[in-house]
């Protein structure tokens, strides 16, 4: 301690201390930098992921999409479709496809998250395309506007997906699936990639904020309590008519039979 | 005389001295009504109408029939701050911010659906039992009028909230109006006060919905009931029931209690549905905007058949003198419904022309004993069901994994092929039932008891019918077919020979029956081996 007290008023003490502090800050910064880089991907890890994806692709996808994703008779080329498309198609179970008769239906996913990420990385490595998103980075609760989202939904989505988002029929057995119970990132990815019969909603048509508004409206509709009683499938007057005839008139005719039955 | 009876007598006397109502009441209160559940269907219609008046009055207290644009500031968050019509905003206000408002809205809508359903069920009862025959043809026509007005009234009510679903319905109505040749566009401009949707439409249909049509309804229902009162009720055939009497219970006390109680049950069922089942959730649909549309948009069920007809129409258009004639809307939207309702209204006259039967009928037919009429009814129901199915084709496609195109083609072909098929099958079933009735009368009921005779032969014991049952199965009359009148007694050719031939051909079809057993048949059988 005598060393410090002896030299603390030395004329180099100030500059030296400053230098030391700067060195410390620089070292801490570079160390932290190194840590984050490790957390994302080192160049070699990324290459491993792509290689892994390529292997899964060769095993599970290449029979339709070609060995290098260049497309074959059945499946289209995947060069340039981007990671978003892969994430949507594979993580919602649409790919690999089970039944191609009308349209590719949603089902339990075949690959786990790690495998989906690998496939997405591989396809993204072929050519640039829309990047996959995560549920966390879509701040729909903060940035979305529900009323605006509803209006946008009715303008852009309802003609196929129904006013209540329950899905609707397209031609020749094709259909727009329900948007209820779909993960946030998949709704977003569907809008930016336009899977199957769905059009692409580019940023000039719907800004990212507007997309988040639509998501907010959908998520609200999904969790909204059934105001007014049993929803009857949320498909409108068809089930209402069925209930009026079978339950309403049915009950009343039952009562009429009872009222006019002969006392025994 | 007890004290209570004395007081009641004094009250009655007091009223009678001032109104002279005792004589009328005595006659009225002892009026007899026959007992059958199918005679209560019309009551369901009447009671739902009362419920509609009451719940509808409640809704008018808050509903604002205006297309003025307002910004929504009510408590339903997902629509907060949106621009909408005052009509839609006030409907939301009734749904979310008026105590009991949503319940009342739902009761009103459920009552409307049940009103129409019960009306159709009542119509089927009257048709299949032949209750429309002389002297009740006018009442039948009034009934057809009520049905037509009911469809219009329901559609207007469904349109009042001005939500996206109902606005779509009005858009289709506008298209149908415009499809009328020559005057279509003018009529559309007249109704909407300019180009669709205009600013007048909601207040106009509001007045029609709450004033004009309910007024006409009240008048027509009153006449309908007065005619029932005056002509007495029809009754099903049976021992002791003739064309000149009515067998049943008096209005007071039996029918007063039954009918009064039934009103509360109808109200109860409607309120129950209103409380537990959501109907027309307009807040989900959003405000009407002509630029928006939802997949799977449907009208209420009583319009579904019309929607189905329009949906199945092939894309036909004609160009005459440079004008477009939208046959694809005109035919399914106006011509076919016009034919259906005109034919329905004229049916009593058509039938009596074919059968040549101009007598009064107060005893009802068992449907099997009028095979052609029953088959015609089954044919009409089949037609309506096919069109109704096509009205919901998009929902059937998504919910049953079908192709909407296939459903449309099924309907296009089915709407032509299935009704005649239903006619033939129903007629055969009726004739088979007649045959079974004949067997039953002649040979009695099969008891399933086998008896071995001394010489070893097995026979099944048949039990003779009770006289009441035998009477019921044989009381109907079977009219002979009318012969074509080709020439008169002097050999002069009938100028209306074609009409006469058509009539004779139809009459022969009408008269195709299984001969009912006569007293001689029964006697012969009894004298024979039995």
Partner residue facing B403 (CB), from A150, A151, A173? A173
- In this complex, the residue of B40, B285, B395 whose CB is nearest that of residue A238 is B395
Put simply, the answer to whether A173 touches B406 (Cβ < 8 Å) is yes
Q: Is A147–B285 a contact, with Cβ atoms under 8 angstroms apart?
A: no
Structural contact between residues B172 and B165, judged by C-beta atoms closer than 8 angstroms: no
User: Which one-letter DSSP state was computed for residue B314?
Assistant: -
CB-CB contact of A260 with B40 (8 Å): yes
- pLDDT confidence of residue A198: 94
Report whether pLDDT(A101) > 90: no
**Close Cβ partners of A178 (under 8 Å, ≥ 6 residues apart):** A161, A162, A165, A166, A167
Min Cα–Cα distance to chain A from B229, Å: 20
- Chain B positions touching A158 (Cβ under 8 A) are 164, 292-295
* Residue B357 included in any domain: no
**Cα B103 vs. chain centroid, distance in angstroms?**
27
Inspect the interface and report whether the beta carbons of A260 and B258 lie closer than 8 Å: yes
**CA neighbours within 13 Å on the CB side: how many for B124?**
15
Its ipTM equals 0.90
From B36, B269, B294, residue closest to A252, measured CB to CB = B269
Rounded-to-integer distance, Cα B191 and Cα B171, Å: 12
Beta carbons of B390 and B407 less than 8 angstroms apart: yes
Which residue in B has a C-alpha nearest to residue A218's C-alpha?
Answer: B78
Average pLDDT over residues A159-180: 92
pLDDT digits (tens, 9 = 90+) for B60-81: 999 999 999 999 999 999 999 9
Q: How confident is the model at residue B528 (pLDDT cuts 50, 70, 90)?
A: low
Asked if A259's CB is within 8 angstroms of B258's CB, the reply is yes
- Within 8 A by CB and 6+ apart from B226, the residues are none
Q: Choose from B261, B268, B395 for mutation: most chain A CBs within 10 A.
A: B395
CATH for B115: 1.20.810.10
Q: What is the DSSP letter of A200?
A: P
Instruction: Give B-chain residues touching A155 at CB under 8 angstroms.
Output: 291-292
Of B386, B481, B370, the residue nearest B426 (C-alpha): B370
Cβ neighbours of residue B388 closer than 8 Å, sequence gap 6 or more:
B301, B304, B305, B308
Q: Across the interface, do B281 and A228 touch by the CB < 8 Å criterion?
A: yes
| For A228, nearest residue in chain B (alpha carbons) | B278
> Is the N-terminal amide bond of B135 cis, ω within 30° of 0?
yes
| Record: contact B277-A226, CB cut-off 8 A | no
Report residue B497's pLDDT band, with 50, 70 and 90 as the boundaries: confident
Do the chains contact at A249 and B117, CB–CB below 8 Å?
yes
Structural domains of chain A, with CATH: 43-126 (1.10.760.10), 140-223 (1.10.760.10)
- With a CB cutoff of 8 Å and minimum separation 6, the contacts of B425 are B378
pLDDT higher than 80, residue B511: yes
Burial class (CB in 10 A: 0-12, 13-18, 19+), B243: exposed
Q: How confident is the model at residue A6 (pLDDT cuts 50, 70, 90)?
A: confident
Contact across the interface for B301 and A245, Cβ inside 8 Å:
yes
Domain that holds residue B154: 31-235+248-290
Q: Tell me whether residues B398 and A236 touch, CB distance under 8 A.
A: no
Alpha-carbon distance B259 to B186, whole Å? 48
The helix/strand/coil state of B33 is strand
pLDDT tens string B189-224 = 999 999 998 899 999 999 999 999 999 999 999 999
**DSSP per-residue letters across B437-484:** HHHHHHH-EEEEEEEE-TTS-EEEEEEPPPHHHHHHHH-S--PPPPPP
pLDDT at residue A40, as a whole number: 57
Q: What is the pLDDT of residues A31-73, one digit of tens each?
A: 776 655 555 556 778 888 999 999 999 998 998 999 888 988 7
Res. A148: pLDDT tops 70: yes
- The pLDDT value given to residue B530: 47
In this structure, what is the dihedral angle of CA atoms B139, B142, B144, B149, given to the nearest 10 degrees? -160
Residue ranges for the known binding site of A are 61, 64-65, 157, 160-161
Nearest CA in chain A to B249: A260
Average pLDDT over residues B12-28: 86
Separation in Å, CA of B123 to nearest CA in chain A: 14
3-state secondary structure of B320: strand
Residue to mutate among B163, B284, B292, with most A CBs inside 10 A, is B284
Tell me the shortest Cα–Cα distance from A234 to chain B, in angstroms. Answer: 9
Q: In B208-335, where does DSSP find H-type helix?
A: 213-231, 256-276, 282-285, 301-312, 327-330
Q: Report yes or no: B397 and A163 within 8 Å, Cβ to Cβ.
A: no
| Beta carbons of B121 and A147 less than 8 Å apart | no
Whether B350 is covered by a domain: the verdict is: no
Check if the beta carbon of residue A161 is closer than 8 Å to that of residue A235: no
**pLDDT value for A34:** 63
- How many other CB atoms are found less than 10 A from the CB of residue A93? 17
Distances (CA, A) of B251 to A187, B27, B208: 65, 10, 35
Specify binding-site residues of A for heme c: 61, 64-65, 157, 160-161
Flag if B37 and A260 touch (Cβ within 8 Å): yes
Do B293 and A159 make contact, defined as CB atoms within 8 angstroms? Answer: yes
- Determine the residue of chain B that is closest to A144 in CA distance: B78
- Euclidean distance between CA atoms B39 and B233, whole angstroms: 9
Kindly identify which residue of chain B lies nearest to residue A252, measuring between CA atoms.
B266
Per-residue pLDDT, A98: 83
A242 band by pLDDT with thresholds 50, 70 and 90: very high
* Residue B73 within a domain: yes
CA distances from A187 to A24, A193, B128, B404, B445 (A): 46, 10, 54, 26, 69
Cβ–Cβ below 8 Å for A252 and B286 = no
**According to the model, what pLDDT value does residue B527 have?**
63
Asked if residue B336 is part of any domain, the answer here is: no
- Which of A149, A163, A224, A255 is the mutation pick for testing B, counting most B CBs within 10 A? A163
- B70, B86 contact by CB (below 8 A): yes
CB contact under 8 A, B294 and A154: yes
Mean of all residue pLDDT scores within chain B: 92
3-state helix, strand, coil in chain A (%, to 5): 60, 0, 40
Cβ contact B114–A176 (<8 Å)? no
pLDDT at residue B142, as a whole number: 97
- Split at pLDDT 50, 70, 90, the class of B253 is confident
User: Is residue B189 one of the residues assigned to a domain?
Assistant: yes
> Across the interface, which of B41, B286, B298 has its CB nearest the CB of A237?
B298
Enumerate the residues of chain A whose CB falls inside 8 A of the CB of residue B394: 168-169
Asked if residue A264 has pLDDT above 80, the reply is no
Average pLDDT for A227-241: 89
Interhelix angle for B256-276 vs A250-259, to 10°? 160
Own/partner pairs for B282-285, CB < 8 Å, 24+ apart? B282/B88, B282/B91, B282/B92, B282/B95, B282/B161, B282/B163, B282/B165, B282/B166, B283/A227, B283/B76, B283/B78, B283/B79, B283/B92, B283/B95, B283/B96, B284/A163, B284/A164, B284/A221, B284/A234, B285/A163, B285/A164, B285/B163, B285/B164, B285/B165
The answer to whether the CB atoms of A253 and B110 lie below 8 A apart is no
Q: What is the mean pLDDT of residues B241-254?
A: 87
Q: Write down how long chain B is.
A: 530
Question: Which pLDDT belongs to residue B3?
Answer: 86
d(CA B252, CA B259): 11
- Name the closest residue on chain B to residue A231, using Cα atoms: B278
Nearest CA in chain A to B100: A228
Mean pLDDT (whole number) for B461-470: 89
Give which of B296, B297, B389, B408 to mutate to test A binding, by max A Cβ within 10 Å.
B296
pLDDT at A254 over 70: yes
Helix, strand, coil % in chain B, rounded to nearest 5: 65, 5, 30
pLDDT tens readout for residues B285-318: 999 999 999 998 999 999 999 999 999 999 999 9
Report the domain count for chain B. 1
Percent of chain B at pLDDT > 70 equals 99
In the three-class reduction of DSSP (H, G, I as helix; E, B as strand; rest coil), residue B85 is classed as strand
* For chain A, counts of helices (H) and of strands (E): 13, 2
Q: How far is A103 from chain B (nearest CA, A)?
A: 11
In a domain, B23, yes or no: no
For range B235-239, the mean pLDDT: 90
- Across all residues in chain A, what is the average pLDDT? 89
Quote the CA–CA distance of B86 and B290 in Å, as a whole number: 16
Sequence-ordered list of residues with C-beta below 8 angstroms from that of B419, at least 6 positions apart, any chain: B379, B380, B382, B383, B386
Nearest Cβ partner for A163 among B95, B164, B403: B164
Q: How many other CB atoms sit within 10 Å of the CB of residue A106? A: 13
């Amino acid at each position: 301690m005598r060393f410090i007290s002896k030299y603390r008023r030395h004329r180099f003490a100030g500059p030296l201390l400053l230098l030391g502090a700067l060195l410390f800050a620089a070292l801490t910064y570079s160390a932290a930098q190194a840590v984050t880089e490790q957390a994302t991907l080192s160049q070699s890890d990324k290459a491993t992921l792509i290689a892994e994806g390529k292997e899964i692709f060769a095993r599970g996808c290449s029979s339709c999409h070609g060995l290098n994703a260049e497309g074959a008779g059945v499946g289209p080329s995947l060069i340039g479709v981007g990671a978003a498309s892969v994430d949507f198609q594979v993580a919602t179970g649409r790919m690999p496809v089970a039944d191609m008769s009308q349209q590719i239906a949603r089902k339990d996913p075949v690959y786990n998250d790690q495998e989906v990420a690998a496939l997405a990385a591989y396809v993204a490595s072929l050519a640039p395309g829309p990047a996959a998103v995560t549920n966390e980075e879509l701040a729909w609760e903060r940035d979305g506007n529900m009323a605006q989202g509803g209006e946008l939904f009715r303008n852009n989505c309802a003609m196929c997906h129904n006013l209540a988002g329950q899905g609707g029929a397209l031609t020749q057995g094709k259909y727009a699936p329900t948007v209820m119970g779909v993960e946030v990132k998949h709704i977003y990815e569907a809008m930016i990639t336009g899977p199957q019969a769905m059009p692409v909603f580019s940023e000039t048509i719907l800004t990212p904020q507007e997309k988040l508004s639509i998501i907010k409206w959908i998520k609200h509709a999904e969790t909204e309590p059934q105001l007014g009683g049993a929803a009857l499938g949320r498909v409108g007057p068809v089930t209402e008519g069925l209930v009026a005839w079978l339950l309403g008139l049915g009950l009343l005719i039952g009562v009429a039979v009872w009222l006019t039955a002969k006392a025994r | 005389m007890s004290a209570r009876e004395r007081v009641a007598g004094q009250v009655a006397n007091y009223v009678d001295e001032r109104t002279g109502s005792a004589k009328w009441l005595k006659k009225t209160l002892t009026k007899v009504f026959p007992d059958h559940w199918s005679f209560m269907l019309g009551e369901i219609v009447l009671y739902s109408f009362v419920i509609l008046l009451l719940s509808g009055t409640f809704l008018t207290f808050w509903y604002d029939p205006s297309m003025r644009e307002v910004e929504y500031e009510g408590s339903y968050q997902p629509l907060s701050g949106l621009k909408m019509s005052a009509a839609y905003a006030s409907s939301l206000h009734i749904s979310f911010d008026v105590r009991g408002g949503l319940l009342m809205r739902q009761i009103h809508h459920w009552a409307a659906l049940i009103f129409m359903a019960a009306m159709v069920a009542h119509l089927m009862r009257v048709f299949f039992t032949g209750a429309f025959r002389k002297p009740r043809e006018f009442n039948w026509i009034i009934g057809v009028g009520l049905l037509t007005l009911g469809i219009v009234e329901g559609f207007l009510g469904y349109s009042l909230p001005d939500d996206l679903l109902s606005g779509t319905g009005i858009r289709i109505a506008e298209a149908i109006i415009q499809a009328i040749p020559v005057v279509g566009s003018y009529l559309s401009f007249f109704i909407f006060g300019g180009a669709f949707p205009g600013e007048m439409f909601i207040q106009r249909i509001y007045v029609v919905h709450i004033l004009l049509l309910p007024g006409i309804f009240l008048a027509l229902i009153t006449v309908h009931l007065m005619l029932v009162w005056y002509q007495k009720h029809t009754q099903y055939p049976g021992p002791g029931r003739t064309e000149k009497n009515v067998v049943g219970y008096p209005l007071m006390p039996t029918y007063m209690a039954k009918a009064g109680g039934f009103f509360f049950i109808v109200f109860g069922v409607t309120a129950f549905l209103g409380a537990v089942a959501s109907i027309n959730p307009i807040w989900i649909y959003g405000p009407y905007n002509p630029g928006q549309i939802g997949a799977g948009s449907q009208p209420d069920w009583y319009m579904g058949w019309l929607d189905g007809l329009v949906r199945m129409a092939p894309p036909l258009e004609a160009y005459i003198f440079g004008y477009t004639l939208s046959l694809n809307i005109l035919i399914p939207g106006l011509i076919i419904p016009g034919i259906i309702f005109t034919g329905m209204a004229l049916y009593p006259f058509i039938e009596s022309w074919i059968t040549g039967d101009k007598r009064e009928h107060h005893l009802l037919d068992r449907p099997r004993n009028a095979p052609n009429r029953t088959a015609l009814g089954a044919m009409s129901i089949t037609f309506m069901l096919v069109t109704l199915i096509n009205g919901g084709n998009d929902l059937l496609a998504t919910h049953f994994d079908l192709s909407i195109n296939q459903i449309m083609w099924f309907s296009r072909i089915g709407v032509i092929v299935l009704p005649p098929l239903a006619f033939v099958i129903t007629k055969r079933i009726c004739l088979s039932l007649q045959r079974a009735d004949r067997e039953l009368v002649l040979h009695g009921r099969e008891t399933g008891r086998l008896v071995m005779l001394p010489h070893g032969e097995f026979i099944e014991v048949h039990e003779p019918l009770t006289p009441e049952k035998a009477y019921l199965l044989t009381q109907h009359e079977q009219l002979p077919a009318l012969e074509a009148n080709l020439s008169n007694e002097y050999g002069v050719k009938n100028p209306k020979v074609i009409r006469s031939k058509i009539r004779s051909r139809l009459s022969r079809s009408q008269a195709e029956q299984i001969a009912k057993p006569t007293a001689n048949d029964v006697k012969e059988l009894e004298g024979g081996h039995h």
